[in-house]
Homo-oligomer: A and B are copies of this chain.
Amino acid sequence: MAKVTIKEIAQISGVSTATVSRVLNNAGGYSDKTKRRVLDVLEKYHYQTNVMAKGLRTRQTKSIGVVLPDLTNEYFAKIAVAIEHVLMEKGYSINIYNLSEDANKERLMIRDLESRGVDGLIYVSGYKDLPKKVKYQSIPVVCINRLEEMDKEVPVIESDHQYGGYLAVRTLLEKGSKKIVMLRDERDILPINFRYQGYLEALKEYGYQSDSRLICRIPFNVGHAQEAITTLIENGIDFDGIFASSDLLAIGALKALQIHEIKVPVDVQVVGFDNVTFSQYSHPTLTTIHQATDQLGERASELLLDLMNNQNLDSNKRMVVPVDLVERETTR
């Protein structure tokens, strides 16, 4: 069952390889009769183009790279799936590069990316630090979520983080919270900072001052979130609402509240961010800001396709995907 090549197809159908190739690519320049004959043979012998031969000649691999911080994080996995969904239909295959935390791996990844000659790249930036000196040579790149260093060079698709933060906090305020904690990743990552801006914006709109004691900057994990809220409680700092910059942190907060027998949402209301699957199963279920991961992935893919076809496009494009509020049990 050795693979059949274009040359053999040509021989069998009594034409040249050029004609077979033309038929394969719908390029015209053949009669209907030959077309049908060639197609028949193609079908009969289960011809499959050798992607490498084609790629060598055309300088296209029909594959694109997706670089992301952590595939086991549902948020990124969902984006990856959305990307795959769009691009696979267009005949592209997806090479996923999972950065994990391995600096060494980043090198390997970049080398690999370059020598494989992917046709395009989607860079999903996230909670990890990102490489500064990656030179994305001449292939089109689009970035999901903003990344300080690339800011000006690469088109970006991102959620409306600031409005999300605003929406979360406005909701808390509307439902009666007055002293709202912001529980956030300690690092100055742009999306997180935008959410913080939204927090400030909402407070201001409702005539409240922001209180620096209520801003908790912590490492990104459940334990630290729990600890931070515990500390607030034990220090007797008064609050009746929590906006967590991520559902994971919200979960930690809920734990701390539960241990101290503070009732949610009666005594304290909580709003998270991301709307991960887990948030609908926590106790109580979590009100959160939903990020449309599917849209992020789809838009990025479509934009990348555009860039790869006509590179005349404005590479300074920026696109904002709306977020929305999912109300569950942690708000009244």
Binding site for B on A (CB under 8 A): 1, 48-53, 55-56, 61, 63, 71-72, 74, 77-78, 80-81, 84-85, 88-89, 91, 93-96, 98, 100, 105, 108-109, 111-112, 114-117, 137-138, 222, 251, 255, 258, 278, 281-283
Contacts of A108 in B (CB 8 A): 88-89
Q: How far is the CB of A60 from chain B (nearest CB, A)?
A: 10
Most interface-central of A1, A100, A138, A283 (chain B CB within 10 A): A283
Q: How far is the CB of A213 from chain B (nearest CB, A)?
A: 27
Q: How far is the CB of A263 from chain B (nearest CB, A)?
A: 14
Task: State in angstroms the CA–CA spacing of A93 and B53 once bound together.
Answer: 19
Copies in the assembly, this chain: 2
Are the C-beta atoms of A100 and B81 separated by less than 8 Å?
Answer: yes
Contacts of A98 in B (CB 8 A): 80-81, 84
Across the interface, A115 reaches (CB within 8 A) one of B49, B80, B96, namely B49
What 16 additional pairs, Cβ within 8 angstroms, besides A1-B138, A50-B115, A80-B98? A50-B56, A50-B117, A51-B115, A52-B53, A63-B95, A71-B80, A71-B81, A71-B84, A77-B77, A80-B96, A84-B96, A84-B98, A85-B100, A278-B281, A282-B282, A283-B283
User: Which residue of B is nearest A84, CB measured?
Assistant: B98
Are the C-beta atoms of A251 and B281 separated by less than 8 Å?
Answer: yes
